[in-house]
Amino acid sequence: MPQISSLILLLLAGSLSFIGCERHPYSQGEIIYKYNCANCHMDDGSGLAKLIPSLDKSRLTLSEPAKLVCLIRNGLPVNKLTGQEMPPNTILNEVELTNLINYLGSKYALKPQTVQAPEVKKMLAGCQTH
Ligand code: HEC
């Protein structure tokens, strides 16, 4: 029955192109990265010479969501060698942080762990503020 098999092919092609629209599962996190982090760490995470570290070198931090949450929230003080600091980000809410962390994890972590917003909320509460 040639008609039926071509109908199936048509349906299959249709559903494939539907999947193709979604570039990858963390596209929301990628946008958040571009707006909040890429001006220093660059679009591809390669950093800026000796001044801004490349994210490739921070795979450990990027594999530990609890550390990463606090790093983003609190930033890092001025590094005496480079004179650069990472400013605290107090704009991102727990849902945005969740998307960002899952995106970074999927891209850089050795063993990506996905987090959910309620967990991130708890992690935030556990960060020491200074
Ligand atoms: C204004 C520039 C700037 C922005 C914006 C910025 N960073 Fe950073 N980031 C830095 C600098 C500078 C360092 C290194 C500080 C140091 O040497 O102590 C750093 C360090 C890091 C590290 C390495 C920490 C470690 O201990 O390995 C990670 C991971 C990181 N940033 C992620 C992010 C993420 C995610 C964002 C967006 C939410 C972001 N940064 C936004 C400047 C920035």
Amino acid 66: pLDDT: 93
Q: What pTM, to 2 d.p., does this model score?
A: 0.83
Q: Is 95 in the pocket of ligand 1 (CB under 6 A)?
A: no
CATH of domain 25-126: 1.10.760.10
Amino acid 57: pLDDT: 80
Amino acid 130: pLDDT: 56
Q: Which residues of the chain have pLDDT under 50?
A: 20
Q: Is 77 in the pocket of ligand 1 (CB under 6 A)?
A: no
Give the distance (Å) from ligand 1 centre to CA of residue 18: 36
Tens digits of residue pLDDT in 66-76: 999 999 999 99
For residue 126 the two structure tokens come to 């556990």
Closest CA to 36 of 80, 82, 83, 99: 99
Amino acid at 81: L
Cβ(50)–Cβ(58) under 8 Å? Answer: no
